[in-house]
Amino acid sequence: MPSIARTRDGYRIEVSREVDATPEAAWQLLVTPEQWPAWGPSVRAVDCDDDRIEAGTSGKVRLPGGVWLPFEVVTCEAPGENRPGRWSWRVARIPATGHRVEAVATDCARVVFEIPPAAAGYAPVCSRALDRIESVLTGEQG
DSSP letters of 52-100? S--TT-EEEEEPTTS-EEEEEEEEEE--BTTB-EEEEEEETTEEEEEEE
Is pLDDT of 118 > 60? yes
Contact in structure between 74 and 89 (CB atoms under 8 Å): yes
Domains, the chain, ordered by start:
3-111 (3.30.530.20)
pLDDT of amino acid 46:
98
Residue 59: predicted pLDDT? 98
80-111 per-position pLDDT tens digit: 888 999 999 999 999 999 999 999 988 999 99
pLDDT digits (tens, 9 = 90+) for 42-77: 999 999 999 999 999 999 999 999 999 999 999 999
Give the residue, 1 or 41, on which the prediction is more confident.
41
Question: Which pLDDT belongs to residue 91?
Answer: 97
